[in-house]
Chains A and B, each alone.
Chain A
Amino acid sequence: MPEGIPIKQLQIALVGNPNSGKSTLFNALTGLNQKTGNYAGVTVDKYTGTSVFEAGGIPYQFSITDLPGIYSLFAKAPDEEVTAKALLEEVTETDVIVVVTDASNLKRNLLLSTQVLDLRRPTVVVLNMIDEAEKQGIFIDIASLQNDLGVEVIPVNSRQKQGIDALRQAIIKAGTSNVSFYDIKAASRFEEGKKGFKELLKLQFGTQAEALKLYESGDTLYRYNAIQYILTKSLKTPEQLRLKQLSARIDKVLTHRWWGYLIFLAVLTLIFQSIFTLSEIPMGWIEEGVIWTQQFLSGHLPRGEFSNLLINGVIAGIGGVVIFIPQIALLFLFIGILEDSGYMARVSFIMDRLMRPFGLNGKSVIPLMSGVACAVPSIMGTRTISNFKERLITILALPLISCSARLPVYTLIISVMIPENPHGSVFFNNKGFILLALYLMGFAAALLVAWISQKLIRQTSRSYFIMELPLYRKPQGKNLFILVYNKVRIFLFDAGKIILSISIVLWFLSSHGSDTFNTISQQQAKTETASNEQLLLEHSYAGQMGKFIEPVIKPLGFDWKIGIALLTSFAAREVFVGTMATIYNANDAENTDTIRDKISNEKDQISGAPVYNTAVCWSLLIFYAFAMQCMSTMAVVKRETGSWKWVFIQFLFMTVLAYGGAFSVYQLLS
């Protein structure tokens, strides 16, 4: 102890709930330097002790009074009155009040703490038995609690004498809280209440004691409300804490410098491989079901125009719609899992910096990725991007992302291009990689368009990227089911209607024609030769339309049959498969091979070589990857951007990309 410096005396009052470990703390602070006495007039023991301490070169002597344990400053028993009076009336003697709380029972203990804080005296709050609380799985955010209470909060394990020195330091620096926890409006109904909570509490010892009792319950409820709010922020239950720690641990990997991106790519690969391989099984059932129905009907219905319409128009059309369901369901299942688990937000988080050079936002990643399902809801989903320029760029680039409507087209063409490989494993095959390549190409094209638009579109308002990173959660099966169910339903009834009606129109166009068609048809019926479907189709209305555009699409390697499919797909891409089904099925009710086999077997009439060779297949794939063939998308872009201008620009650059891409790849490969 330095000589010559006067010892600073501090009067300390220890107050707390019974069983808060107050006496143990008192012993830890004072050791054997204790005196026992009596409070005047009551048989309540009075414990006082001293503690000597040096801080910053200044010696201190604490005179500590261990006040009887109480739950509330509204006293209900003689010993409680002792404490209340000590704090309310003899408060001039006390320099610092130390409120001792049981850390494992914080809610109830904070009631007294907030009452003491409202006395506007220098105060320190002790979280006693903090080790016990942690053993019970209760974890307290000290900084948050300190902030809300407005005074120092010191965690202490008084049995181990841990935190005692920190407490002594805090006592020396103790400040007064400026937070009010009492209902000032209710309190001001009393004259004394207007002066402050301390004056109000003094009423309990006077003539207005009864009136104050009426105030007390309201005061307590008011405090518990505030306490509840404070604790939701600072108290972590074991479950919350476990989830928080788990999320932090998962994030260490998923937002890692390298692993984060590798895992993102791996997740995408897994999703596309699964969509391709898992959907094959139910798609097989649907195909067989359609064939069975067609055969059953053609065996039981009388031949004629109506049967032909039903079997080759309606049933084929319905089959062409239903066949998408497995893929759409799987895709939305995966997107739902990513979204609900909290992973999507992490994807935005790690991608934001990468997207910015393209004029995009981390939040663009979610709409772009959902664009894999369907551009229409994704374009509507860009509303989360607050900056108009970033939002516009996202909308312009979005339809280049391969949507689920392209998936059946890809599936069909890829399976034509790559025959069954009996040695390929279920989850890993070339088809999956070609599919992944197409999707990556879509993303690349989208980024390119974004980058160019960023240079061309002038707008300088600030962009924001403020977004919650939710805790990781297990996706709920029920939520996922509802999501998948709704998406499938919307597809069946919205897109399905268009597809079915176009299928029927197509059936009509390909099974009817002008005079030449009728002559050929009658001749074949008369001579009873095997019907020449190529010849018939060629002279049908559909064939004539296809032939009309053939010169334009010839450089892409497309014949007039593909031309028919291209024309019909301008309403919606998925119509391609249905069109192919109708074109190759029309006037041929007996032969009900699957579409894929028919297309694969299609031979050039002159050379006899397969029409769908690798060059044509790639050309088709590229064309479908880039072309704007969706009326719904164009409508939604008009609605979201507010002008036809962007719709037109988008249509133009997508057509250029599609034609140019298909032209290049065909010329290169053939």
Chain B
Amino acid sequence: MKSVLDLKPGETGVIQAFANDNDLKNKLIGMGCLPGENIRISKAAPLGCPIAIDIAGYELSLRKDEAACILIETDR
């Protein structure tokens, strides 16, 4: 399955699941990264990491390895 890191600039994906890390999963869900939500990369920090994503109407910053745990689908 694709992860957030596979998104091209401007492309939107839909969250499907989270890779096996329960702490991270709970943290992300608590911050509104729910399965079914749209997700888009809005920018990256100067050194390529962390990245910022647009989710549920706001912007969230996370590291690349964390973003890799968010599994998505593009094209419905």
The residue that B61 contacts in the complex, of A349, A386, A462, with Cβ under 8 A, is A349
A418 within 8 A of partner (CB)? no
Q: Are A349 and B57 in contact (CB under 8 A)?
A: no
A469 within 8 A of partner (CB)? yes
Q: Are B50 and A147 in contact (CB under 8 A)?
A: no
B38 within 8 A of partner (CB)? yes
Residue of B nearest to A261 (CB): B46
The residue that B27 contacts in the complex, of A354, A362, A464, with Cβ under 8 A, is A464
Q: B24, B36, B50: which has the most chain A beta carbons within 10 Å?
A: B50
Q: Are B59 and A468 in contact (CB under 8 A)?
A: yes
Q: Are B61 and A233 in contact (CB under 8 A)?
A: no
Q: Are B31 and A462 in contact (CB under 8 A)?
A: no
A277 within 8 A of partner (CB)? no
- How many angstroms from the CA of A345 to the CA of B50 in the assembled complex? 12
The residue that A353 contacts in the complex, of B28, B31, B42, B49, with Cβ under 8 A, is B49
The residue that A352 contacts in the complex, of B24, B49, B57, B59, with Cβ under 8 A, is B49
| Beta-carbon contacts under 8 Å, B30-49 to A | 31, 36-38, 40, 42-43, 45-49
B12 within 8 A of partner (CB)? yes
Interface residues on A, range: 20 to 34
Residues of A within 8 A of B31 (CB): 466, 468
B19 within 8 A of partner (CB)? no
Q: Are A349 and B45 in contact (CB under 8 A)?
A: yes
B56–chain A nearest beta-carbon distance, Å: 6
- How many angstroms from the CA of A60 to the CA of B24 in the assembled complex? 49
Count of inter-chain pairs, beta carbons less than 8 A: 84
Residues of B within 8 A of A255 (CB): 43, 45-46
The residue that A465 contacts in the complex, of B40, B42, B46, B50, with Cβ under 8 A, is B50
Q: Are B52 and A349 in contact (CB under 8 A)?
A: yes
Report if A469-B52 is in contact (Cβ < 8 Å); known contacts: A143-B12, A464-B66.
Answer: yes
Residues of A within 8 A of B43 (CB): 251, 255
Q: Are B45 and A233 in contact (CB under 8 A)?
A: no
- How many angstroms from the CA of A464 to the CA of B63 in the assembled complex? 8
Residue of B nearest to A354 (CB): B47
Convert A347-372 into 0s and 1s, putting 1 for each residue whose CB lies closer than 8 angstroms to a CB of B. Answer: 01110111000000010000000000
Residues of B within 8 A of A345 (CB): 61
Q: Are A233 and B50 in contact (CB under 8 A)?
A: no
Q: Are B61 and A353 in contact (CB under 8 A)?
A: no
A265 within 8 A of partner (CB)? no
Residues of A within 8 A of B63 (CB): 352, 464-465
| Beta-carbon contacts under 8 Å, A182-234 to B | 232-233
- How many angstroms from the CA of A381 to the CA of B59 in the assembled complex? 22
The residue that A468 contacts in the complex, of B14, B21, B47, B61, with Cβ under 8 A, is B61
A669 within 8 A of partner (CB)? no
B interface, over-half SS: mixed
Q: Are A467 and B60 in contact (CB under 8 A)?
A: yes
A144 within 8 A of partner (CB)? yes
Residues of A within 8 A of B60 (CB): 466-469
The residue that B46 contacts in the complex, of A143, A232, A350, with Cβ under 8 A, is A350
Report if A350-B45 is in contact (Cβ < 8 Å); known contacts: A147-B14, A466-B27, A466-B60.
Answer: yes
Residues of B within 8 A of A248 (CB): 42
The residue that B45 contacts in the complex, of A147, A353, A470, with Cβ under 8 A, is A353
B40–chain A nearest beta-carbon distance, Å: 8
A257 within 8 A of partner (CB)? yes
A260 within 8 A of partner (CB)? yes
- How many angstroms from the CA of A57 to the CA of B60 in the assembled complex? 44
A295–chain B nearest beta-carbon distance, Å: 57
Residues of B within 8 A of A467 (CB): 60-62
Residues of A within 8 A of B62 (CB): 464-467
- How many angstroms from the CA of A462 to the CA of B42 in the assembled complex? 25
Q: A147, A261, A386, A469: which has the most chain B beta carbons within 10 Å?
A: A469
A256 within 8 A of partner (CB)? yes
Residue of A nearest to B67 (CB): A466
Convert A253-266 into 0s and 1s, putting 1 for each residue whose CB lies closer than 8 angstroms to a CB of B. Answer: 00111101100000
Q: B31, B52, B66: which has the most chain A beta carbons within 10 Å?
A: B52
Q: Are B38 and A144 in contact (CB under 8 A)?
A: yes
B34–chain A nearest beta-carbon distance, Å: 11
Report if A260-B46 is in contact (Cβ < 8 Å); known contacts: A144-B38, A464-B66, A466-B27.
Answer: yes
A469–chain B nearest beta-carbon distance, Å: 4
Q: Are A352 and B66 in contact (CB under 8 A)?
A: no
Q: B23, B47, B48: which has the most chain A beta carbons within 10 Å?
A: B47
- How many angstroms from the CA of A261 to the CA of B46 in the assembled complex? 9
Convert A639-660 into 0s and 1s, putting 1 for each residue whose CB lies closer than 8 angstroms to a CB of B. Answer: 0000000000000000000000
- How many angstroms from the CA of A288 to the CA of B3 in the assembled complex? 66
Residues of B within 8 A of A362 (CB): 50, 61
Q: Are A465 and B47 in contact (CB under 8 A)?
A: no
Q: A143, A258, A261, A470: which has the most chain B beta carbons within 10 Å?
A: A143
- How many angstroms from the CA of A128 to the CA of B61 in the assembled complex? 35
A465–chain B nearest beta-carbon distance, Å: 5
Q: Are A469 and B38 in contact (CB under 8 A)?
A: no
A651–chain B nearest beta-carbon distance, Å: 34
Q: Are B38 and A147 in contact (CB under 8 A)?
A: yes
Report if A352-B45 is in contact (Cβ < 8 Å); known contacts: A466-B61, A469-B52.
Answer: yes
- How many angstroms from the CA of A392 to the CA of B21 in the assembled complex? 23
Question: What residues make up the interface of A, taking CB atoms closer than 8 Å to B?
Answer: 141, 143-144, 146-147, 232-233, 247-248, 251, 255-258, 260-261, 345, 348-350, 352-354, 362, 386, 462, 464-471
Write 21 A-B pairs (CB below 8 A) sorted by A numbering: A143-B40, A147-B36, A147-B37, A147-B38, A233-B57, A248-B42, A256-B46, A260-B46, A349-B50, A349-B52, A353-B46, A354-B47, A362-B50, A464-B23, A465-B63, A465-B66, A466-B24, A466-B27, A467-B60, A469-B59, A469-B61
Closest 6 CB pairs of A and B: A353-B47, A469-B59, A257-B46, A143-B12, A465-B63, A233-B57
Question: What residues make up the interface of B, taking CB atoms closer than 8 Å to A?
Answer: 12, 14, 21, 23-24, 27-28, 31, 36-38, 40, 42-43, 45-50, 52, 56-63, 66, 76
User: 13 additional contacts, CB 8 Å, given A147-B14, A464-B63, A466-B27?
Assistant: A144-B57, A147-B36, A247-B59, A251-B43, A345-B61, A349-B45, A352-B49, A352-B50, A464-B24, A465-B50, A468-B31, A469-B60, A469-B61
